[in-house]
Amino acid sequence: MTNWDRGSIVNATLRGLCVLPISVISWDNKKSTQEEEEEETETPLARFESTQHTTQTNPHPPFFFFISFHTPPCSSCCFFSSLSSLCFSSPSVESMGAEVKIWNPVEVAEQARHDYASQIHPSHLTIDPSLELPQMTPLVLKLCKDMFKAWSNLDDSCFVVEKISGGITNLLLKVSVKQENCIEETITVRLYGPNTEYIIDRQRELQATKYITAAGFGAKWLGIFGNGMVQSFINAHTLSPSDMREPKLAAKIAKQLQRFHHVEIPGSKEPQLWNDVWKFFEKASVLEFDDSKMQKTYETISFKEVHDEIVELKGLCDLLKSPVIFAHNDLLSGNIMMNCEEDKLYFIDYEYASYNYRGYDIGDHFAEYAGFECDYDLYPNMNEQYHFLRHYLKPERPQEVSEKDLETLYVEANTFSLASHIFWALWGLIQAKMSAIEFDYLGYFFLRYHEYKRHKEKYFLLAQSYLSGCKNEMSR
């Protein structure tokens, strides 16, 4: 691992498990005395098994559970994935040369939201993610007993708490619970890390996660507490950067991304890329560092130049008129999981998800081919990109994609990959000030900004040539 390991430093620990928005849960639903008594003896697993017939988004009962939290990374990875079926019967829709199966996402999401609301367990407890595991364990047990009545009288010896991983924005703990009937259940605990609100819009994340999960992309929610949440679990493994370029997996990712882009989230459909870039720019351009060496390095940055580059890039990207879809916005290898036994692929971590440009989500994904070492010479070539784009545009009949549609999306993805470099460069500056992790975030800014400038001329010419060709066609 080198100094530029964003993949493992930032995301190898799976920054984003689904988080249930507190605002949509009705905590004061009244229950009968009989219902309360039944709830006391019901385990989280049993409760969800008993409600599977009413929850259309997750027909497979969970085998494990998780609680989750936010912090600094370590080298380990955790293995977990969605319990949801990704199959919905629905009509076919043609969109930009792509035929996909879609459903009524708002209807599905609303039904699932109501199903979840009566099953989510709240707690006002919080846990300091900076504590060492021995000091944290009693607090975790207290939380588990507070959230799940069936566990409230269990002896502490019935619980085993393990640290799965710690990431830039979350800490994951595995809690195994063995009861008298010899049934063992497992949950994880996710804690939000300090200062993550400077980087992540939690309200947007929670709103998005609710509907993404309802559409079949996330795990079951079991509970929510002061600074974390409870989530179901299935064994799966995260992909490596080299996995993403393997043709069969690349095709799977492309097909899944097409499906993800058809998720419908209520509210504004405005793309958030430039809003987020400008927010990051405003924060990044007024930082002050206590470390004199860092401050001196920071002062070498010309924010006037960065500002002008953003304005110029936005102007070019706007001319491409890339379709607005619901985007993941952080699709690196650590956020893609594979269940080999079921041959299912899952996207996780929706902390940056929003409506955005199609070209940006794909271009950002291509930039992640650079891997943990940030070797941007590994950026996919035209043949690799065309393979991906064919399966994205027509998942069932990739060989039928027209050259025109391929060219259009190829230009979009590569032009918007420049925006990805700008976005994550500014992100690195803010992290340099706010993060407690020992990592050269200032250096990361210069790395990404250098990549932007290294490829700017090539992709600007690509986009300008494409736009000129389109203009000539229209004038004929």
Span 180-239, pLDDT tens digits: 777 888 887 888 877 877 888 878 887 887 788 788 886 677 777 888 878 777 678 889
| Most confidently predicted of 36-40, 115-119, 122-126, 409-413 | 409-413
Over 50: is that where the pLDDT of 72 sits?
Answer: no
The confidence score (pLDDT) of residue 473 equals 82
Provide the residue type at 47 as one letter.
R
Under 8 Å between Cβ of 199 and 437: no
DSSP output for 232-278: EE---EEPPHHHHTSHHHHHHHHHHHHHHTT---SS-----HHHHHH
Average model confidence (pLDDT) for the chain?
79
Query: Regarding predicted confidence, which is higher, 35 or 300?
Result: 300
Q: Give the right CATH number for 241-475 from 3.50.50.60, 3.90.1200.10, 3.30.43.10, 3.60.110.10.
A: 3.90.1200.10
Domain layout of the chain by residue ranges: 6-235, 241-475
Which residue's entry shows tokens 């209807």?
107
CB atoms within 10 A of CB 106: 14
Under 8 Å between Cβ of 190 and 172: yes
The confidence score (pLDDT) of residue 92 equals 37
pTM for the full model?
0.75
CA distances in angstroms from 204 to 175, 201, 211, 353, listed in the order given: 28, 5, 11, 8
Q: What is the largest CA-CA distance in the chain?
A: 80
